[in-house]
Amino acid sequence: MSILPRRFERIKSVLDCRMKNLTVLVEDVNKPHNLSAILRTCDAAGVFEANFISKTNAVKTFNSTAQGSQKWVKLNNHENTITAISDLKNKGFKLYGTTLNSESVDYRNFDYSQNTCFVLGAEKWGLSNELKSMVDQSIFIPMRGMVQSLNVSVAASILLFEAVRQRKNKGILPANGEGLNMDEYQKTLFEWCYP
């Protein structure tokens, strides 16, 4: 099996921009078009791996909105909240929970240039109380309208692209593979080229 040089260059250039230190943790979002839009945005922002908690154990389904991005962003499925949180904290992530309550702080007040995980909740109920109590910081995107909240994939993209904007301003967006460790880089390059 061989791969065309142009295709190889394209795959490599995308992997060169991937970041391990920017991710999302998505709780109980199951609508295919929301999941799909989140993954597509992760791909575009350069997220290496996205995290999901799905209590129903339903298989995640993606639709055309994803445009195949589920092949290019690793999906880390967590069985429950506790294991998800401890895994992410062990990896050194700061968890920013998105909530619309009174302790929550305007998202523009934080620096997302280090290990950052945005925690996103379900359309109807938002984050579970369990998860709310375990995040490091609650943040929200200020709302100026009649509707109380944003669509979850929209919220995800505003936050992820704010992180990208900040990292770009600091000159720390990876462009040569420095966002991954060598082993991971090699392993993923192989998997992406020979799926």
Ligand X SMILES: C[S@@+](CC[C@H](N)C(=O)[O-])C[C@H]1O[C@@H](n2cnc3c(N)ncnc32)[C@H](O)[C@@H]1O
| Residues contributing to the site for a second copy (CB under 8 A) | 10-11, 14, 17-18, 33, 37, 40-46, 65, 67-69, 71-73, 108, 141, 143-151, 153-154, 157-158, 161, 164-165, 168, 173
| Residue 111: burial class (beta carbons within 10 Å; 0-12, 13-18, 19+) | exposed
Footprint of ligand X (CB under 6 A)? 98, 100, 120-121, 123, 125-127, 140-141, 143, 149-150, 152, 155
Rank residues 90 and 194 by Cβ distance to a second copy and give the closer one: 194
Rounded least distance, CB 4 to ligand X, Å: 22
Rank residues 115 and 149 by Cβ distance to a second copy and give the closer one: 149
Q: Which does 100 bind (CB under 5 to 8 A by kind): a second copy, ligand X, none?
A: ligand X
State how far the Cα of 18 lies from the Cα of 97, in Å rounded to an integer.
23
Rank residues 145 and 195 by Cβ distance to ligand X and give the closer one: 145
Rank residues 84 and 163 by Cβ distance to a second copy and give the closer one: 163
Rounded least distance, CB 159 to a second copy, Å: 10
- Return the residue matching tokens 């620096």: 111
Determine how β-strand 137-140 pairs with β-strand 94-98.
parallel
Q: Which does 166 bind (CB under 5 to 8 A by kind): ligand X, a second copy, none?
A: none
Rank residues 43 and 188 by Cβ distance to ligand X and give the closer one: 43
Rounded least distance, CB 29 to ligand X, Å: 8
